[in-house]
């Protein structure tokens, strides 16, 4: 951990949006610019989520009872969507073809890739805290997640929710003795937001996210989620001397230091990066991770031996490897990253949501709309999947403003920073060396 913090301290010394002339230890961020970035996060994540859902679980390989044939390639973009393992006889209801999907009926439908992040931001705001307690997380889940009807929870999220209703609180809800799904994907899609709620301070972002991650994840699934939180936080203060592709690789390498060397997650990261450096196409790299990890069970990734439903298509590991393919080969291009994530396979809406949200944040809402050559609705239908919020339909403006309030409290109460009201600037102390 010390090496990780040393590396990002070096990163911060050359990367802040604007550094106070009187101190090299202060990160200065425009609040107005950050507000547009937060709106870009929600918009980018929603576009990517809806698009990735078209191909979710269409392609998971040919191991076990469920066989899905050859994986998609770039040539499949715009072509007919093939059935998923959930609906084996029909294409996606969202789109008959593999293509971008936008708002539905004038609003963005909440989904499990966005709605628990929404819930966590609301809890931070309502409890006037930067660090949620076990009881606050449990009470938030029980209050905002439906008990009986469709609740848009699966594997570890569902098991953790069941345990909460039995009286358990995090981190006990991810204890492998109680939650057999602790190595699944769930924490990856619920906690990235903590990174952008702690701008310029990955150390604090990881502290904020620790218990929410441990609500559903342990070991590799936990470390992978740490990686995503770090990526998000580092994306808030990019090196202005680098282009976006170089920045992506820089913050990814820094964040990868959070993955223990002996873990399959660390070995996956190194393998996928080497595939990129060796000039493989993204399709070749994807096929190689499938062979390496699901067919041959290398680097300690033993999901196949467990004979899980769909060969562990919800697992943290294979979806992490797939997400790195869309990140590296997407190269910081929002549309290309979403396309590759959508076509790569497995739980395709998750990697697309993760990187769509991060890249949407980096460029901001206005630039996202410019990328697609159109404006989008900013309405978000949270009560589609969750319940008991003040607004059943929220909007990105309000959601961004709530984020600003959470961040402002963190800066003032926890970091000893300040807000320059006249110039609308945050002054954030840079992290100390550990």
Give, in order, the Cα–Cα distances in Å from 205 to each of 407, 410, 414.
11, 10, 12
CATH number of the domain encompassing residue 353: 1.10.4080.10
User: What is the band of 149 on the pLDDT scale with cuts at 50, 70, 90?
Assistant: confident
Would the pLDDT of 285 be above 90?
yes
Residue 102 counted as domain residue: no
The secondary structure of residue 293, as a DSSP letter, is I
Give, in order, the Cα–Cα distances in Å from 190 to each of 36, 114, 228, 294.
22, 7, 10, 25
Work out the mean pLDDT of the chain and round it to a whole number. 94
Residue 92 counted as domain residue: no
C-alpha angle 318-320-322 in degrees, rounded to nearest 5: 70
Residue 93 counted as domain residue: no
Residue 150 counted as domain residue: yes
- Residues with Cβ within 8 Å of 197's Cβ and at least 6 positions away in sequence, in order, are 121, 124, 205, 208, 403, 406, 407, 410
pLDDT in the model for residue 164: 98
- Structural domain total, the chain: 1
Residue 86 counted as domain residue: no
Give, in order, the Cα–Cα distances in Å from 219 to each of 175, 183, 186, 290, 380.
11, 7, 13, 21, 33
Cis peptide before 122 (omega within 30 of 0): no
Neighbours of 128 (CB within 10 A): 10
Neighbours of 32 (CB within 10 A): 11
CB 344 within 8 A of CB 272: no
Residue 60 counted as domain residue: yes
Query: What percent of the chain stands above pLDDT 70?
Result: 94
Residue 87 counted as domain residue: no
- Residues with Cβ within 8 Å of 369's Cβ and at least 6 positions away in sequence, in order, are 43, 375, 376
Closest C-alpha to 229, from 49, 354, 408 = 354
Q: What is the pTM of this model?
A: 0.96
What is the extent of the structural domain holding 302? 2-79+108-429
Would the pLDDT of 174 be above 50?
yes
Residue 85 counted as domain residue: no
């Amino acid at each position: 951990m010390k090496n990780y913090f040393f590396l990002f301290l070096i990163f911060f010394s050359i990367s802040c949006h604007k550094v106070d002339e009187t101190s090299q230890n202060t990160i200065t961020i425009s609040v107005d610019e950050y507000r547009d970035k937060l709106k870009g996060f929600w918009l980018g994540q929603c576009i990517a989520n809806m698009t990735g859902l078209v191909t979710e679980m269409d392609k998971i390989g040919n191991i076990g009872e469920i066989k899905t044939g050859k994986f998609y390639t770039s040539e499949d973009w715009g072509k007919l969507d093939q059935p998923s393992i959930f609906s084996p006889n029909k294409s996606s209801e969202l789109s008959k073809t593999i293509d971008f999907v936008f708002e539905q009926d004038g609003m963005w439908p909440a989904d499990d890739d966005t709605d628990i992040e929404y819930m966590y931001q609301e809890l931070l705001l309502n409890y006037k805290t930067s660090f949620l307690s076990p009881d606050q997380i449990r009470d938030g889940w029980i209050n905002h997640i439906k008990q009986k009807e469709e609740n848009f929870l699966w594997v570890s999220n569902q098991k953790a929710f069941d345990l909460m209703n039995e009286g358990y609180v995090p981190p006990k809800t991810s204890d492998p003795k109680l939650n057999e799904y602790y190595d699944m994907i769930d924490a990856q899609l619920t906690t990235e937001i903590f990174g952008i709620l702690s701008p310029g301070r990955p150390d604090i972002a990881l502290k904020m996210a620790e218990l929410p991650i441990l609500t559903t994840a342990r070991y590799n699934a936990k470390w992978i989620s740490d990686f995503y939180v770090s990526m998000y936080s580092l994306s808030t203060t990019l090196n202005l001397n680098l282009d976006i592709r170089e920045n992506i690789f820089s913050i990814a390498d820094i964040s990868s230091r959070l993955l223990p060397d002996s873990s399959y997650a660390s070995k996956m990261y190194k393998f996928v990066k080497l595939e990129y450096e060796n000039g493989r196409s993204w399709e070749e790299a994807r096929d190689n991770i499938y062979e390496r990890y699901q067919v041959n069970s290398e680097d300690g990734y033993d999901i196949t031996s467990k004979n899980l439903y769909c060969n562990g298509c919800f697992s943290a590991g294979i979806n992490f490897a797939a997400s790195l393919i869309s990140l590296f080969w997407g190269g910081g291009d929002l549309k290309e990253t979403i396309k590759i994530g959508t076509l790569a396979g497995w739980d395709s809406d998750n990697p697309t949501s993760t990187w769509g949200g991060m890249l949407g944040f980096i460029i901001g809402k206005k630039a996202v709309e410019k990328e697609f050559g159109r404006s989008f609705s900013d309405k978000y239908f949270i009560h589609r999947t969750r319940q008991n919020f003040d607004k059943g339909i929220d909007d990105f403006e309000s959601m961004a403003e709530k984020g600003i309030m959470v961040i402002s409290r963190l800066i003032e109460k926890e970091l000893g920073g300040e807000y320059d009201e006249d110039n609308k600037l945050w002054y954030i102390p840079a992290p100390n060396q550990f």
